[in-house]
Amino acid sequence: LISRPGVRVRLVGEGTRRPALEARNAELGSPAEILGPVHGSAVAQQYAWADTLVVALRPDWPSFRHTVPSKTYEVLAVGRHVTGLVTGEAARTLEAAGGAEVIGPDVDDLVRHLTALADDPHRTDVGAGGRDWVRRHADLPAVARRYERLLRRVAGR
C-alpha cells in the first residue's frame, strides 16, 4: 500500500502499541511517518493533511465496547472521513454520524480498507454529515443541558 504513488501514512500521538509500531516501521524501512503528540493548531493541520482519520480501540478489552474515544467527536466535527477500528458504542456512533466507515480490527482489514480508499478517493468526500451529527448529538452545551435535565428528573426536582 505505502509503495503506491500518492499514498502516505502518518501516525500521530502516543499509545500503548507505539513502540511496537515504531519497531515494525523500522523493519519495513520506515515507510510510515510517526510523529509524537501534537497540540493546538498543529492538531488541525494534521486533520487537514489526512484523507481519512483513524479512530481505533483495542478489540480485546471488553470495556472498550462501551467506550467512545473523545477524539471520535472531534474528528467527526472537522468534517473529515473517519475510519473506525472500533466495536460497540464507538462503532454505533460512527455509523449513526455518517462520513465514517467501521472496519474489522485486524491490520489486514485496515490495509484492504486504505487500499480501497486509494483506489476510489471520492469515498473520502463526506460532506457535512459528521459535523451535523456532532452539532445535534454531541454539542457540549446541549449535552450538559440534557444531563442536567436527567439529573433533575432522577433527583425529583
pLDDT for 140 equals 84
**One domain for residues 103 and 36:** no
Query: Is pLDDT of 2 > 80?
Result: no
Rounded to an integer, the average pLDDT of 6-21 is 90
Question: How many CB atoms are closer than 10 A to CB 94?
Answer: 24
Look up the pTM and report it: 0.84
**One domain for residues 66 and 122:** yes
pLDDT for 149 equals 93
**One domain for residues 7 and 79:** no
Rounded to an integer, the average pLDDT of 65-83 is 91
Contacts of 91 by beta carbon, 8 Å cutoff, 6+ apart: 84, 102
Q: What is the pLDDT of residues 117-129, one digit of tens each?
A: 999 999 999 988 8
Mean pLDDT score of the chain: 91
Is the distance from CB of 86 to CB of 148 less than 8 angstroms? no
